[in-house]
Amino acid sequence: MAEVFHLNTPLLESINMSKRVGTTVYLKMENTQPSGSFKIRGIGHLCQQLARHSKGVICSSGGNAGMAAAYAAQKMGVPATIIVPSSTPPLVVQRLQDQGATVKIVGKVWDDANTEALKLAETEGLTYVPPFDHPLLWKGHASMIAEVTASLGPSVKPGAVVVSVGGGGLLCGVIQGLKDVGWTDVPIVAMETVGADCFNAAVKAGKLVTLDDITSEAKCLGAKTACKQVFDYSQSSELTIISELVTDQQALHAIQTFLDEERVLVEMACGAALAAVYSGVIVRLQNEGRLPALLGPLVVIVCGGSTINMEQLTYLNVCHA
Ligand code: PLV
């Protein structure tokens, strides 16, 4: 059987977050994955299926998909090239290189880097690893929900699941996981930051929307267009997906509070999900009747991320001073 690259991550109860929302909050600690985020689940699975005999993989990324692709490629003994936009902090370039990848910086945002990755895949005969838009990624990500089910035990069902949305791969995976375990009645709160809000824009417009630019500091949520599958899910009555936005300031406040209270440092992309609790989005949704007043346990996917360290946190603080 093929080696699995991801780990079964802990599901931790947060006393502090539970106090804030008035129901038990469980944290699915995807930040503890090898390569620093949930991405290794899907990308590990995709690489196993598509890149075993490849002459090399090529991945366009805001950082974390690249970290996962570099990790999987190194495990498989395959070279990895990661294309990142210029908005990617230097610390990520260094981390990718330390993981054995060749890094190229192309364009301003992820979409530019992706155009280059697709071109190089074609001209160099490399295996293209998409960061969010592929059924093999969603299948890999779905395993996190199977683990949540096992951790909670047979008598407990979440009241809602909270996820961050970039291009929508994580959300597609969570939905697939909920379907696999028969939890399609569990509402999902889909969090983005203002300025990296392609899913919210699509939900509002009733069609896929391409943003003009990415103006949020949550660069790993910075796809200009959501994937078609996640939009199709948003239009289906099979599931309840509540799309919500927070500001960069709220996402930053969330990662700082998380560091203080849970002693874990995650990046802005993850801060968007955490802000659902810290900025009162969940409580507001309850007050508005969009989530039940008596809410079952809240599962927050702590997607993690490598685009953060103390220097980057200081920089973000200066930006928002
Ligand atoms: N980040 C992608 C896309 O960036 C990347 O290349 O790494 N949380 C974290 C920590 C992430 O890194 C990402 C995606 C997300 C959430 C959102 O996941 P998605 O794109 O599957 O919705 C441009």
Show the domain range for 167: 11-38+134-320
The verdict on 164 and 309 lying in the same domain is yes
The verdict on 284 and 252 lying in the same domain is yes
76 Cβ closer than 6 Å to some ligand 1 atom: no
Dist. CA 5–CA 42, nearest whole Å: 10
Closest by Cα among 188, 182, 179 to 142? 179
As a dihedral over the C-alpha atoms of residue 262, residue 263, residue 265, residue 271, rounded to 10 degrees, the angle is 20
Sole residue written with tokens 């995807």: 30
59 Cβ closer than 6 Å to some ligand 1 atom: no
Which H/E stretch holds residue 243?
strand 241-246
Kindly tell me the number of DSSP H helices and DSSP E strands found in the chain.
Answer: 13, 10
Residue 294 Cα to ligand 1 middle (Å) = 31
Dist. CA 21–CA 23, nearest whole Å: 6
Q: Is 103 strand, coil or helix?
A: strand
Gyration radius from the chain CA atoms: 18
Query: What pLDDT shows up at residue 2?
Result: 66
229 Cβ closer than 6 Å to some ligand 1 atom: no
Residue 226 pairs with which residues in a beta bridge? none
Dist. CA 5–CA 59, nearest whole Å: 17
The verdict on 186 and 303 lying in the same domain is yes
Token digits of residue 266: 């995650």
The verdict on 162 and 225 lying in the same domain is yes
The verdict on 215 and 98 lying in the same domain is no
As a dihedral over the C-alpha atoms of residue 282, residue 283, residue 284, residue 285, rounded to 10 degrees, the angle is 50
The verdict on 107 and 155 lying in the same domain is no
The verdict on 70 and 26 lying in the same domain is no
Q: Could you list the pLDDT tens digit for every one of the 321 residues in the chain?
A: 567 999 999 999 999 999 999 999 999 999 999 999 999 999 999 999 999 999 999 999 999 999 999 999 999 999 999 999 999 999 999 999 999 999 999 999 999 999 999 999 999 999 999 999 999 999 999 999 999 999 999 999 999 999 999 999 999 999 999 999 999 999 999 999 999 999 999 999 999 999 999 999 999 999 999 999 999 999 999 999 999 999 999 999 999 999 999 999 999 999 999 999 999 999 999 999 999 999 999 999 999 999 999 999 999 999 877
Token digits of residue 45: 């699975």
Is residue 273 within 8 Å of residue 163, measured between CB atoms?
A: yes
Q: Closest ligand 1 atom, CA of 172?
A: 21
Give pTM, 2 decimals: 0.98
The verdict on 274 and 188 lying in the same domain is yes
**Nearest CA residue ID for atom 10, ligand 1:** 305
297 Cβ closer than 6 Å to some ligand 1 atom: no
Dist. CA 198–CA 200, nearest whole Å: 6
211 Cβ closer than 6 Å to some ligand 1 atom: no
Is residue 244 within 8 Å of residue 281, measured between CB atoms?
A: yes
Task: Say which residues have a Cβ less than 8 Å from residue 147's Cβ, sequence separation at least 6.
Answer: 8, 9, 11, 28
- Residue 51 Cα distances to 1, 56, 127, angstroms: 16, 8, 6
The verdict on 160 and 246 lying in the same domain is yes
Closest by Cα among 75, 101, 52, 18 to 306? 101
Indicate whether 6 belongs to any domain: no
Indicate whether 2 belongs to any domain: no
Token digits of residue 321: 């001073």
Write the CATH number for 229: 3.40.50.1100
Token digits of residue 236: 């289906």
